[in-house]
Amino acid sequence: MPEHRIGSREEWQAAREELARLEAEQARRDEEIKVRRLDLPWVPVGKEYRLDAGDGKKTLAELFDGRSQLLAYNIMFGPDYTLGACPGCTGLADGLDGTLVHLNHRDVTLTCFSRAPIWCDHSSSQSGGFSVISLTSGICCACASVIARPKSKAKSVP
């Protein structure tokens, strides 16, 4: 473990006040960036994307599932993965079940995607499967989607 500098209470207080000033400056900058991000113009999607899903092809519009907003998360699960998705992504997906109802009530559809082929078992999880199942074209992240299904239908990967 690296050794830390030992200082006086006054040195600590001065350093802490400077850090608080920098944090406040960063918070103001973050707010400015957020406002500018929200002000970005929307761009129409000109291409008709057709994505592979467990129940057939879906268009990008169909992924919205009748809601006005689509929240997409990339589950790191590549076409050559043999032990399931990334552990961090799997941990996040395990916690999504309770979130879905709240997102849906706020006019948001959650969709997750991966690069793994549609025939891969996308329900791998240390806890026995997550209900947000990756559905994908197997080509690229922009051409993939995941929809939710009941956890009782999720399968485990050995």
pLDDT tens track for 110-120:
887 777 765 45
Looking at the domain assignment, is residue 7 inside a domain? Answer: no
Looking at the domain assignment, is residue 19 inside a domain? Answer: no
Looking at the domain assignment, is residue 15 inside a domain? Answer: no
Taking 70 as the pLDDT cut, the residues of the chain under it are 54, 79, 117-158
Structural domain span for residue 122: 50-153
Residue 15 has what pLDDT?
97
Residues in the chain: 158
Name, in order, each residue with C-beta under 8 angstroms of 49's C-beta and a sequence gap of 6 or more.
59, 60, 142, 143
Residue 154 has what pLDDT?
35
Looking at the domain assignment, is residue 22 inside a domain? Answer: no
Q: Cα(60)–Cα(52) distance, rounded to whole angstroms? A: 11
Residue 35 has what pLDDT?
97
Query: Could you tell me the two tokens for 134?
Result: 């990756």
Looking at the domain assignment, is residue 98 inside a domain? Answer: yes
pTM of this structure: 0.56
Domain count, the chain: 1
Looking at the domain assignment, is residue 67 inside a domain? Answer: yes
125: left (phi over 0), alpha (psi -120 to 50) or beta: beta
The residue assigned the tokens 């959650």 is 110
Q: Cα(111)–Cα(106) distance, rounded to whole angstroms? A: 15
Q: Cα(126)–Cα(6) distance, rounded to whole angstroms? A: 44
Name, in order, each residue with C-beta under 8 angstroms of 124's C-beta and a sequence gap of 6 or more.
83, 84, 85, 90, 156, 157
Strand bridging mode 56-59 / 69-74: unpaired
Looking at the domain assignment, is residue 1 inside a domain? Answer: no
Neighbours of 70 (CB within 10 A): 15
3-state secondary structure of 141: helix
Residue 117 has what pLDDT?
64
Neighbours of 5 (CB within 10 A): 5
Looking at the domain assignment, is residue 71 inside a domain? Answer: yes
